[in-house]
Amino acid sequence: MTVTAVHKDPAALTMTLVAEFDAPPERVWELWADPRQLERWWGPPTYPATFTRHDLAPGSRVEYHMTGPSGDQPRGYWDVVEADPPRRLVFIDGFANDDGTPNDAFPRNEGRVTIEPIHAGRSRMSIESRFPSIEAMEQVLAMGMEEGLTQAVGQIDAILAEGAAA
Amino acid sequence: MQTAFEPDLVFAALADATRRDIVLRALGGREGVVELASHYPMSFAAVQKHVAVLERAGLVTKTRIGRRKVVRTEIEALRHARGLLDQYEALWRGRIDRMTDLIAASRGTRT
């Protein structure tokens, strides 16, 4: 089990996920810093990602598109806010127009990635996602629905549990 | 009255601690606005305003029971918000699995 903790806050619209890898931080960082490796994991098998512009220096823009089962190609971009290899990456993830320019009609979400060594070549990565609205979350999910639908049911928080009992 | 699910209204409504507390208290649907207001160190009008925000978001409804009107939480709206976060978690779990596979594959070739 590589995912060690998940915290979801439906009211604040944030999710923090912590995972451990059997590799030092430098190796985990490569998965973000090398676009060829990044595109092997960013998109689900049904929506593979292709990164057409990639530089993780602060202030840089990363451009990518996904390719859906029916040939649709939604485009996205990241604006890199902070980068401290191999420890920290903060970026804004947004949707883009066909020409790659940011599509301001869609909300953006912020991702904060932290990678730290644990011991003997292992590391811990945490990713915190913050959404400005539920609409933003729905749009991100539209590009990964297949996986979303295979989720385990359960994980109903205290409010829902209490609601069912009331 | 059935209110359509308006995501942004729901999350704006839930962003306030007092309103989240009202949502919890109203799960049983036994108290009216007056009783709810007695739990908070604020004016009746302020609590009434919070209930109105929750009502517009479809998170609570007012139901008449005899001569009283009680405030009741609509948990479907909450469940929908929670469901989206669950899906987002699944998306990231998929990504972590693929990252793990890539690391394992590269270790295999570097012996």
pLDDT tens by residue, A13-48: 788 889 998 889 999 999 999 999 999 999 888 888
> According to the model, what pLDDT value does residue A7 have?
83
CA angle A152, A164, B86 (to 5 degrees): 25
Among candidate residues A141, A112, A106, the one with its CA nearest the CA of residue B80? A141
Q: What residue type is A110 in one-letter code?
A: E
CA A156/CA A131 separation, integer angstroms: 20
**Average pLDDT of A77-100?**
92
Nearest beta carbon to residue A141 from set B10, B88, B102: B88
Report how far apart, in Å, the C-alpha atoms of A63 and of each of A47, A77, A97 are.
16, 4, 11
A147 band by pLDDT with thresholds 50, 70 and 90: very low
| ipTM tops 0.85 | no
Q: Which residue has the higher pLDDT, A70 or A156?
A: A70
**Residue pair A107/A132 in contact by the 8 Å Cβ criterion:** yes
B23 phi and psi angles, rounded to 5 deg: -60, -45
Of all residues in chain B, what percent carry a pLDDT higher than 70?
Answer: 85
Distance CA A49, CA A159 (A): 37
Distance CA B102, CA B42 (A): 56
CATH number, span A3-121+131-151: 3.30.530.20
pLDDT at B76 over 50: yes
Instruction: Transcribe A24-37 into DSSP letters.
Output: -HHHHHHHHH-HHH
- CA-wise closest residue to B23 among B87, B66, B91, B74: B74
pTM: 0.67
As assigned by CATH, the class of the B7-109 domain is mainly alpha
Distance CA B106, CA B78 (A): 43
Q: Given this model, what pLDDT does residue A50 score?
A: 95
pLDDT confidence of residue A1: 47
pLDDT attached to residue B18:
86
Quote the minimal CA–CA distance from B89 to chain A in Å. Answer: 8
Q: Are strands B68-73 and A49-53 parallel, antiparallel or unpaired?
A: unpaired
A27 touches chain B (CB under 8 A): yes
Is the pLDDT assigned to residue A118 strictly greater than 70? yes
B95: tokens are 């990504």
Give residue B67's identity as a one-letter amino acid code.
R
Q: Residue A52: its pLDDT value, please?
A: 95
Per-residue pLDDT band for B21 (boundaries 50, 70, 90) equals confident
pLDDT tier at A153 (50, 70, 90 boundaries)? Answer: very low
Q: Do A162 and B87 touch (CB under 8 A)?
A: no
Q: Worst-scoring range by mean pLDDT, A50-54, A115-119, A126-130?
A: A126-130
Distance from CA of B67 to the nearest CA of A (A): 22
Q: What is the pLDDT of residue B11?
A: 64
